[in-house]
Structures are given as structure tokens and as C-alpha cells.
Amino acid sequence: MGDEMTYGHLGRSGLLVSRIGLGTMNFGYTVDEPSSFAVMDAAIDAGVNFFDTADVYGGPQSADMAKGYGISEETVGRWLRRSGCRDDIVLATKVYQPMGLGPNDRRLSAYHIRRACEASLRRLQTDHIDLYQMHHVDRATPWEEIWQAMEQLVREGKITYVGSSNFAGWDVALAQSAASARHFMGLTSEQSLYNLAVRAVEQELIPALRHLGIGLIPYSPLHAGVLAGALQALSEGHVSDDSARQRIETYRDRLEAYESLCRDLGAQPAAVAVAWLLRNPVVSTTIVGATTIEELQSDCGALSLRLDDDVVQRLDRIWPGPGEAPQAYAW
């Protein structure tokens, strides 16, 4: 694709992951199977080795629609069987969201973790998951129970690393404290919403991850397309969705400045947004939800883009962050 893939450690682990990771949330759902297979083939060709999915992906995420869940994992599983690339990728999936209507078909009880892992393995047509991520924090389940379940899966060879997603900084700290008491590695990564427009994780989560050696995996790096040249797309008549139009209007002033900066750099807005994330040493890989080969190529343009300090300062003025706690709000 013209941009050579680079790799970095997933947090403090010895595992190397591509700096661009492929998110498969829409595969088999809004993206048909042949198109999904084509994007995964292109990702492999581009050197992407981190593939991210979740048991819940593949349909509307609500409990009464649980029958549609698992479609993304099933699509990835069929691609793995066809491509023979299982040993070429780091396969990540998630557990927590409702997978049925029963009271124990969700969250992070040991009961659900075991059953959910077995079900994901069947859908993915594999015997192991490289990174098993808790999709959300479950404060109603004790860490002793969660870690005991995860340790059992590691012993059985069904999972290799454990990650979290959508955790607060203090959730990460509690999780690691409990894992350390059990002499268990605990969390290797945390997957969170993070992009130029949404920087809340900079206040407390990123400092916690940096201190504990946990890698950050940003999702939605383009903020649902807002940072991918949305104003230009709107002016060319390529935006028809009302919610997308509303997002663009919310950020219009900032987007005018942002897209002007990108033109000055001679770079695609999507590449600038991803390159900005990859500058952060806490970021191990960033999830791009490319649904076409062209989108994947645009995202991979970030690999050859170097943002100097002046550009980063200009980006900070357009998209200001919250600063780190407690200095951001106290002496």
C-alpha cells in the first residue's frame, strides 16, 4: 500500500502488534462477507497483524436483539479458515455485553466468562484467543472472581493475554492491584474511545496506563468519520446521514481549521488524526474500522506521516485536551 507497517509492544508485554489494527465491528453486518474478506486480505498484505472483534459485534447492540450477535466473529472465523492466516495475526475479542436474554448471559461473572470464551472460540473457529478483553467494567463482580476465571482460561491455553475496554483509571488500578496479589500479569492493554475530538482519557486513564505499563488501544480514531475530511465530504454531497450531518455541524468551526491545517501539510485528514494518536508512547496500536480497501489505505497513510512539535501545538489549539489530573484543576 506504499506505507511500510511498523510494530510495537502491546504495553509492557513482549507481544509485537502492528501500529494500525483492524476493527471488524461491521463485518458481516453493514459490510457484506465478500467485502469483509477483501478488507482482511488487504490488511494482511499491508502488514496488519492485530485484528479486533467482540462477541457482541454484528448487529444492533441491545439485549432484545441478541440473536444477531456473533456475526462479526463468525465472519472472521470463516475468513481465518479460508485464508490460513491464523498464525499470522494477533486475534482479539471481548466479553461482557449481553449474548442472550438470560440473567447470566452478560457481564463478568466466572460463569459467563467461561461460557462466553467457549462460544467465541467456536465462532472464530480457533482454539485460542490472543487477547481477551473485558468490554466494560463490572463493579458488581469481585476481582478475585474475574481473575480466577481468566487465570483458568490461560492455564487451559484458551487465551494468552487479558485486556480491558472502557475502564476508568481507578478501575485499572484496582484490577492490577488484585492481579498482583495473585502473582498474575493482569491487564496488558486497555481499549478506549480516544481521538483528537474526544480526549477525556488524557486526564486520569492515560497517566494510570503509563505508570502500570498497560498499552492503550484507541478506538474510533476518526470520531465516526468527523476527522476524515467530513467538511469536504459534505461539500461534495457524500454525507447523507442526518446524525453525521449533525456531528459535522457541532464541530464545524474546528473542522474548518483542522482541514485547513491538513491541506497545509499536504496530508489526508484521516492520516493526520491517526498519526497524532501514534505519537503517544502509551498507544500500542490504534483500531481503524475500515470498511473498504480505500479507507484502509487512507488510514495506513499515517505510518509515513511525522507531525512536528509546531503541528502538534496547532492541533492542540484546535482540539484542546483536558490536561492531566490533578494539575489540570489543582495547584
Whether 20 contacts 303, CB under 8 Å: yes
Band (pLDDT 50/70/90 cuts) for residue 69 is confident
Mean pLDDT of the chain: 95
248-261 pLDDT per residue, tens: 999 999 999 999 99
Of 221, 220, 293, 300, the residue nearest 36 (C-alpha): 293
The pTM (predicted TM-score) of the whole model is 0.96
Q: Which residue has the cell 498482583?
A: 180
Residue 142 CA to residue 109 CA, distance in Å, equals 9
Domain-by-domain residue ranges, the chain? 7-228+268-307
Torsion region of 172: left, alpha or beta (phi above 0 gives left; psi -120 to 50 gives alpha):
alpha
* DSSP annotation string for 92-145: EEEE-S--SSSTTSSTT-HHHHHHHHHHHHHHHT-S-EEEEEESS--TTS-HHH
Of 259, 327, 286, 124, the residue nearest 192 (C-alpha): 286
Residue 141 CA to residue 78 CA, distance in Å, equals 34
Of 38, 25, 30, 54, the residue nearest 292 (C-alpha): 38
How much is the pLDDT for 2? 55
Whether 197 contacts 226, CB under 8 Å: yes
146-190 pLDDT per residue, tens: 999 999 999 999 999 999 999 999 999 999 999 999 999 999 999
Cell matching residue 38: 477483501
Task: Calculate mean pLDDT across residues 101-118.
Answer: 97
The partner residues of 17 in beta bridges, in order of sequence, read 8
Reported as half-sphere exposure (CB side, CA atoms, 13 A), residue 331 has a value of 0
Least trusted range by pLDDT, from 64-68, 141-145, 182-186, 309-313: 64-68
DSSP, res 329: T
- The CATH number that domain 7-228+268-307 falls under is 3.20.20.100
Residue 39 CA to residue 26 CA, distance in Å, equals 12
258-316 pLDDT per residue, tens: 999 999 999 999 999 999 999 999 999 999 999 999 999 999 999 999 999 999 999 99
210-264 pLDDT per residue, tens: 999 999 999 999 999 999 999 999 989 888 888 889 999 999 999 999 999 999 9
57 assigned to active site: yes
Cell matching residue 134: 473485558
Return the CA Rg of the chain: 20
* Degrees to nearest 5, angle at CA 230 with 229 and 231: 95
How much is the pLDDT for 59? 75
Band (pLDDT 50/70/90 cuts) for residue 66 is low
Q: Which one is catalytic: 7, 57, 219, 251?
A: 57
